[in-house]
Structure 1
């Protein structure tokens, strides 16, 4: 079997893979002068920049400094503080955090916040979905229903994602009204 090295570190890995996981690069054939694998020589996993405290929240594998996704399970690693807080005119507010998609309506099997809509008979059982995507922002996706959905007083089309901004007003049917407060992600705050 041909010897393989990581093109970033020029070190031969002790694993049998064809992919250097710490550097996210395909291993390449080793030239004659390549450093051989040896326990005394650091492997890529020892030389790649990583944060010993940073681990994938899903599988627990170490997360390297420049990784956005976990190399083992593919989970999103960037910590995001993006959140959308729905503040109804009549009722208790609720917050949806980054990476979550939540149904809104009177059906408790569809919406964890169904109790917030019980007094509003013209809010559909499955009225809309609120999506908080850490990379793209906050969207409201109305379900196709006979009860309309409004954003800032304008009726919006069903089955289409509508981008929400901080302090947008949403209305379901003719009576449920709420202001959506959006907490920006860490990435947005540093731009």
Structure 2
């Protein structure tokens, strides 16, 4: 007869137990436990399986909680180790996306931040609510002068919104309606004398100034 184990904590239970003695969870007797496992199923289950959080072996395929770290297992994938003697850690759960960048626009002592996937309107119009108070003294800056943005991959840009007196990156004019790349340390100028500093911070890469 197949040995009954708790599907939550993996504790071995007696045949007449209805509740797990370890975690007090209900014990379910699966149909597969009462019938012989086919040869194909045995081959599949022989492949080592590990916790996606801590890499500990999963003793029972139906476990829902890791017996070591007590976290929910979710989808448990086979071990991805080259050495069969090494404890496997799921490469899918340990992979992390690259650190995201932050775009900082500096108006002298004042700074505005743009996060990945966001934009910031530069100008004197009320619609540019985060900058119009800072730029209103520049009469040659348009009400909706330019937009700066940061892509999810960390690419920063500026787009001149068909302003009257133009937008410049390091002294070069930006084409109206088109995105011009911005890099850490660039100088952004609106019209003739409104100069803004550009900083692109990338955690772990020493970005920003």
Q: TM-score, normalised by structure 2?
A: 0.53
Q: Is the Cα contact below 8 Å between 1:102 and 1:111 reproduced in 2? A: no
Query: Does the Cα contact within 8 Å between 1:126 and 1:143 map onto a contact in 2?
Result: yes
- Of 119, 124, 127, the residue aligned with 2:145 is 127
Look up the match of 1:47: 76
Counterpart for residue 195 of structure 2: 177
1:87 equivalent in alignment to 2:106: yes
Which of 140, 163, 173 is matched with 2:181 structurally? 163
Give the 3 Å change call, closer, same or farther, for CA 165–33 of structure 1 in structure 2. Answer: same
CA shift, 1:48, in A, is: 4.2
Q: Which of 84, 107, 117 is 2:125 aligned to?
A: 107
Q: Which runs of 4+ in 1 moved over 3 A?
A: 63-68
Q: Distance in 1 between matches of 2:133 and 2:61?
A: 62
Cα distance between partner residues in 2 of 1:104 and 1:48: 49
- Are the structure 2 counterparts of residues 143 and 130 from structure 1 closer, same or farther at C-alpha, using a change threshold of 3 Å? same
- SS state at 1:163 partner: strand
Greater strand proportion: 1
Deviation at 1:120, TM superposition (A): 0.7
Post-superposition CA distance 1:130-169 (Å, at most 9, x none): 1112314111111112221111011111111111111111
Structure 2 stretches lacking a partner, 5+ long: 1-37, 46-59, 65-72, 79-91
Max radius of gyration: which structure? Answer: 2
Q: Residue 150 in 1 paired to residue 168 in 2? A: yes
Question: What number of residue pairs does the alignment pair up?
Answer: 133
TM-score (norm 1): 0.57
- Whole-Å Cα distance in 1 between the matches of residues 140 and 39 of structure 2? 75
Gapped runs of 5+ residues in structure 1? Answer: 1-30, 50-62, 69-77
Q: Which residue of 1 aligns with 2:134?
A: 116
1:33 to 2:52 alignment: no
Aligned to 1:74: none
CA distance in 2, matches of 1:136, 1:97: 9
Cα separation, 1, equivalents of 2:164 and 2:74: 57
Measured on the aligned residues, the alpha-carbon RMSD in Å equals 3.2
